[in-house]
Structure 1
Amino acid sequence: MPTTDEMSHLFYNELGGVVGSSILSSSDPDLALFTNIQPSGCVSSTYFPPTPDFPQAL
């Protein structure tokens, strides 16, 4: 999957994340480098305007 930003690159390319799955299901040993990993959701300071597919920005 092509990535367009640093968080996507970290999730998919570096930590073995899969679309629609929690990062906690990855077996990548580098996850041990992080603390307080949440099972779902993402918080970002990047603003994404609402779209028909995602009508409400959190």
Structure 2
Amino acid sequence: MCTHRPTCPTADSPDREAAHTIAAHPEQGWILLCNSAVIFDDTGELLPDGQVVAPHRLCATA
């Protein structure tokens, strides 16, 4: 799948968000990474196996 050197992290790796972007649609709020993970603006994720990762954006504190 990934032809980058070094190879991008797989979709099941903890650092999956470090993979290269292959399609971006900021107007729709998502990007597709070369490991087939979809990352949403709210930091939620959809993995290639259908698993959903809940948003994990850090909240600012006063």
What is the TM-score when the length of structure 1 is the normalising length?
Answer: 0.26
Higher relative contact order (CA 8 A, sep 6+): 2
Query: Which is richer in helix?
Result: 1
Query: Which is richer in strand?
Result: 2
